[in-house]
Amino acid sequence: MATADDPTTTLGLLWDGPSRPRRGPRHHLTVDALVGAALEIAEQEGVDALSMRGLAARLGVGAATLYTYVPDKSALIALMVDTMIGEAPLPHTRPGDWRERVEAWARENLRAYREHPWLVRLMGAAQPVGPHAFAWTDSALRVFDGTGLTGHEALTVVEAVDGYTRGHVAKAVEADRAARWTTPDGRTWDTVQDAFLEAHAEPGRYPAIERLTGAPGTEEVFEAGLAWLLDGVAQGIRERAAG
Amino acid sequence: MATADDPTTTLGLLWDGPSRPRRGPRHHLTVDALVGAALEIAEQEGVDALSMRGLAARLGVGAATLYTYVPDKSALIALMVDTMIGEAPLPHTRPGDWRERVEAWARENLRAYREHPWLVRLMGAAQPVGPHAFAWTDSALRVFDGTGLTGHEALTVVEAVDGYTRGHVAKAVEADRAARWTTPDGRTWDTVQDAFLEAHAEPGRYPAIERLTGAPGTEEVFEAGLAWLLDGVAQGIRERAAG
DNA sequence: CGACTCATCGAACAGTGTACGGAGTTCTCG
DNA sequence: CGAGAACTCCGTACACTGTTCGATGAGTCG
């Protein structure tokens, strides 16, 4: 198989699927089987445990065999990501007006990312656009049909909301992991950190933080920010309709 | 030095600095020198090139020596991140009203992240809060002094804007990297991808995307989304002042 | 001066992604 | 129908990674 380092091969795999050669012995596995097993590993053991050797072992083949299905690990990851995107419901098929649909999709994405935290890390690297990602964006754009926004404006809104969601997801995933962490003797992350800060921040050094009576949860921040963002968008749509 | 895996040691390094032992030979290096050299490597060669062996070689010492300064690589990274945060201007010292200050800090953060793309990846992992991060948050909260918002509400705004910025940064960094990429024969990423999509997306499959006449740039999306978000916040502040 | 503590670092361990080359299988073409 | 091309499979190897161990010797305190 062609050596990559060049995402063209990966794009071909994403959009065309594997190319069946004319000569030579048959494959015993399929690319889908690789991706499925890789997703299982990521889901069960986390993304750090996803190695080519481990994946090969799970499938009962030698490590080098995988390279006849996939040019390299990054291509496998691109396939995993696009597969996950394919499981997201298409925004334009949801009920309600544009705002209800946007809220639903943003919450759904947040939920999906938090349920599959490994996705957040894998999406960090630049990804070639796969068919499912493309279809999702198309669907998201259609949510704004009838609002009077141009395609360009609709895409701006989609990207803004998506960016907002992704940023929160990164923070939420960190918070989730910290919440699950404990010292060997059972103290939580918050306990350790708070004790540390209390011992080290002399009074008056951080006046605004001292005045705080409690931090908002990630859910609360997400909902508030989403509401503000969509208030702004709604106002833009109203002004355009009036002008 | 104490084995970590437990961020308590890292927190100590962040807040107290290195602890000078009473007996034994002197250190030839300092933790600051490690962090400085690590920052240079990240800046010049990217985060993937940052290895303990490479760092040790740059400092002219053996790889194992580093572990007398720092419990492990993650602690080093925490120190790098907090150092970078320390270089950001404090929001409450900027001129203007709350909105101008927020806009300035959001743009500044976006710029800094794009200039140091490795930071985006390093911040992806959960980080213990360092003194500079703490000071920055305190300063950001003070921007809302006099707006009538409670500390809780101000923190919600800060986190929402920060989350928004981080999400965009991730996308912008990906876009920057893709923009810099070319095939051996000189074609750009966009050319390759567009050619591929044109060849593979039959007409009518992606109606909304077909209707597009051009995609908004990351800058344009960022500014539009920020304006919407702050419009929403401003309305919240007005309503609170009125009610 | 001993006793103790600690910095330094070569070597080793358990991993990683991936290239290579040989063995065996399947299809195509003369 | 048989020769050889094309291909899968995979043991082995390479160049890495972060980190631990143990030996050596430097520095300091009683």
- Amino acid at residue number B223: E
DSSP per residue, A192-228: HHHHHHHHHS-TTSSHHHHH---PPPHHHHHHHHHHH
Integer Cα distance of A110 and B96 in angstroms = 34
Residue B4 reports pLDDT greater than 70: no
Q: Where are the domains of chain A?
A: 7-83, 89-180+213-242
Maximum alpha-carbon separation in chain B: 76
Chain C positions within 7 A of any protein Cβ atom are 4-12, 15-21, 24-28
B34 within 8 A of B70, measured Cβ to Cβ = yes
B41 within 8 A of B54, measured Cβ to Cβ = yes
pLDDT on residue A126: 65
Question: Which of 17-76 (A) contact B at CB < 8 A?
Answer: none
Please state whether strand D lies within 7 Å of residue B26 at its CB atom. yes
CATH of domain A89-180+213-242: 1.10.357.10
B210 within 8 A of B203, measured Cβ to Cβ = yes
Integer Cα distance of B207 and A134 in angstroms = 11
Integer Cα distance of A26 and A60 in angstroms = 16
Please state whether strand D lies within 7 Å of residue B10 at its CB atom. no
A76-128 pLDDT, tens digit each: 999 999 999 999 999 999 999 999 999 999 999 999 999 999 999 998 776 78
Measured between CB atoms, does A170 come within 8 Å of chain B?
A: yes
Chain D positions within 7 A of any protein Cβ atom are 4-13, 16-22, 25-29
| Per-residue confidence in pLDDT tens, chain A, 243 aa | 333 356 788 999 999 999 888 888 999 999 999 999 999 999 999 999 999 999 999 999 999 999 999 999 999 999 999 999 999 999 999 999 999 999 999 999 999 999 999 999 998 776 788 999 999 999 999 999 999 999 999 999 999 999 999 999 999 998 888 888 887 778 888 888 888 888 887 888 999 999 998 889 999 999 999 999 999 999 999 998 887
Please state whether strand D lies within 7 Å of residue A64 at its CB atom. yes
Length of chain A (residues): 243
Which residue in the block uniquely carries the two structure tokens 């995307």?
B209
CATH of domain B7-83: 1.10.10.60
Residue A26 DSSP code = P
B58-101 pLDDT, tens digit each: 999 999 999 999 999 999 999 999 999 999 999 999 999 999 99
| CA dihedral (A158, A160, A163, A169) positive or negative | negative
Q: Answer yes or no: do A159 and B8 touch at CB < 8 A.
A: no
Q: Which residues of A touch B229 (CB under 8 A)?
A: 164, 225, 228-229, 232
* Probe site for chain B from A114, A119, A209, A219 (most B CB atoms < 10 A): A209
Q: Answer yes or no: do B221 and A177 touch at CB < 8 A.
A: no
pLDDT on residue B126: 65
* Among candidates A139, A174, A228 on the partner chain, residue whose Cβ is nearest the Cβ of B229: A228
pLDDT on residue B124: 75
Over chain A, what is the mean pLDDT?
92
Residue B3 binned pLDDT confidence (cut-offs 50, 70, 90) = very low
Please state whether strand C lies within 7 Å of residue A54 at its CB atom. yes
Residue B138 reports pLDDT greater than 70: yes
Q: Which residues of A touch B231 (CB under 8 A)?
A: 228, 231-232, 235
Please state whether strand C lies within 7 Å of residue A25 at its CB atom. yes
